[in-house]
Amino acid sequence: MSQVIIDNLDPEILQQLEALAKQHDRPLAEEAKAILTQAIIATAPPYPPEEEAIARGILSMEKQMRDHAQKMGQPIEPERPITEKDREQIRKTLEELKQLKQLGLSLGGLSIREAREEGRRY
């Protein structure tokens, strides 16, 4: 494990750190580690909710389909924003997929993932 040395720490900060360590009944180094960990976690960008990741995936697929349709000279539907109704459908579908996954269903001996991959080949 790495070691961090902090030179010229303000004495007031050190006193507060020592007081917190005593309050939490842990050594000074452990208190400093806990504070640093909390600070890093607080500034880290949050992971998007699962439904947002799916919505972004849907938008990406729609863009790929539009690009392909354009290349093939096919008409393209205008873009529309994802509505709350769409988000609710995403949530519902996601929940249904989770339930199917828990059941361990297979299609002709294929898992859902394998069936999906097989469908992508056609």
> Which stretches of 25-111 are DSSP H helices?
28-43, 50-71, 84-103
Q: Could you say which DSSP state residue 65 is in?
A: H
Q: What are phi and psi of 69, to 5 degrees?
A: -60, -40
Contact between 66 and 76 under an 8 Å Cβ cutoff? The reply is yes
Question: Could you report the per-residue pLDDT of 64-121, keeping only the tens digit for each?
Answer: 888 888 888 877 666 677 788 888 888 888 888 888 777 776 677 777 778 788 878 7
Locate the domains of the chain by residue range.
11-43, 50-120
**Whole-angstrom Cα distance, residue 83 to residue 45?**
25
- β-sheet bridge partners, residue 107: 110
Report the run of H or E that residue 107 belongs to, with start and end.
strand 106-107
Mind listing the pLDDT tens digit for each residue in 2-57? 788 889 999 999 999 999 999 989 899 888 988 988 888 777 766 667 777 777 88
Interaxial angle between packed helices 11-23 and 28-43, expressed in degrees from 0 to 180 and rounded to the nearest 10:
100
